Structure 1
Amino acid sequence: MKGINADRLTAQGYGEFQLVNECSNEVDCTEEQHQLNRRSEFIVVSK
């Protein structure tokens, strides 16, 4: 199987808890700006 073994990955969704900009739900922003906050980060923990 190709790819990275699942044991070597951690994933965390941040959304409203750790914004990359000032666009929370109550702020008037473009859809593109809101999309920046809808993200998941994957970190490879070992080689």
Structure 2
Amino acid sequence: MHAEKRVRVDSSDVRSSYSHGSIVTSGRLIGFCIEFSPKIIRH
């Protein structure tokens, strides 16, 4: 019973950390696109 609960908590922790990581990555990508887009528009 205890082991099962621990596994559930771990999986939820991994999921939350993964979602946070993806949000950070997408934020960086958006920032990079905004930084890079003026150069593309100038072309």
Larger RCO, structures 1/2 (Cα 8 Å, 6+ apart):
1
TM-score by length of 2: 0.23
TM-score by length of 1: 0.23
Structure with more of its chain in strand, by fraction: 1
